[in-house]
Amino acid sequence: MPTSEVIETVRAGFQLGIKTVHLTGGEPTKRRDIVELVAGIRNEGVETIEMTTNGVLFNKIAENLADAGLTGVNISLDTLDQNKFKFITGVDALPLVLGSIEKARNLFGSNVSINMVVMKNNLDEIRDFVEFSRQTGVMVRFCELTPQGPYMEDSPDFFAQNHVPKEGILNAIKEVAPIDDLKKDPFDKQNAHSEYYTLGGEYNDMTIGIIAPFSNGWPCPGTGCTRLRIGPTGGNSCVIYPERRLMGLSFEEKLLVIQELIDERQHQMDNSLFPPHHVPTYLPYRFGLDSSLVEISPTSTLN
Mean local confidence (pLDDT), 145-150: 78
Q: State pTM to two decimals.
A: 0.87
Domains recognised in the chain with CATH numbers: 3-218 (3.20.20.70)
pLDDT number for residue 215:
87
Least confident span in 26-30, 118-122, 177-181, 287-291 = 287-291
Mean local confidence (pLDDT), 139-159: 84
pLDDT number for residue 296:
38
pLDDT number for residue 297:
37
Highest mean pLDDT among 53-67, 175-189, 258-272, 288-302: 53-67
pLDDT number for residue 302:
26
pLDDT number for residue 303:
27
218 falls in which pLDDT band (50, 70, 90)? low
Q: Residue 292 pLDDT more than 50?
A: no
Q: Residue 152 pLDDT more than 90?
A: no
Q: Residue 299 pLDDT more than 50?
A: no
More confident site: 192 or 98: 98
Highest mean pLDDT among 9-23, 170-184, 201-215: 9-23
- Say what the alpha-carbon torsion angle 90, 213, 69, 39 is, to the nearest 10 degrees: 70
Q: Using one digit for the tens of pLDDT, what is the confidence trace for 232-284? A: 888 888 766 778 999 999 999 999 999 999 999 888 888 877 766 555 555 55
Q: How far is CA 160 from CA 90, 119, 146, 296, in A?
A: 22, 10, 10, 9
- How far is C-alpha 89 from the geometric centre of its chain's CA atoms? 18
Highest mean pLDDT among 105-114, 263-272, 287-296: 105-114
More confident site: 285 or 48: 48
pLDDT number for residue 186:
52
Asked if residues 73 and 111 have their Cβ atoms less than 8 Å apart, the reply is yes
pLDDT number for residue 192:
72
**Residue 112 forms beta bridges with which residues?**
73
Q: Residue 164 pLDDT more than 70?
A: yes
**DSSP annotation string for the chain:** --HHHHHHHHHHHHHTT--EEEE-SS-GGGSTTHHHHHHHHHHTT--EEEEEE-STTHHHHHHHHHHHT--EEEEE---S-HHHHHHHHSS--HHHHHHHHHHHHHHHTTSEEEEEEEBTTTGGGHHHHHHHHHHH--EEEEEE--S-STHHHH-TTHHHHHB--HHHHHHHHHTTS-EEEEE-TTT-SS-TTEEEEEE-GGGTTEEEEEE-TTTTTTT--GGG----EE-SSEEESSTTS--EE-TT--HHHHHHHHHHHHHHHHHHHHHT--PPTT-TTHIIIII---GGGS---SSTT--
Counting residues of the chain whose pLDDT is more than 90, the rounded percentage is 64
285 falls in which pLDDT band (50, 70, 90)? very low
Query: What is the pLDDT of the chain when averaged over all its residues?
Result: 86
Nearest to 231 by CA among 62, 23, 11: 23
pLDDT number for residue 111:
95
pLDDT number for residue 294:
40
Q: Residue 167 pLDDT more than 80?
A: yes
pLDDT number for residue 276:
61
Mean local confidence (pLDDT), 15-25: 94
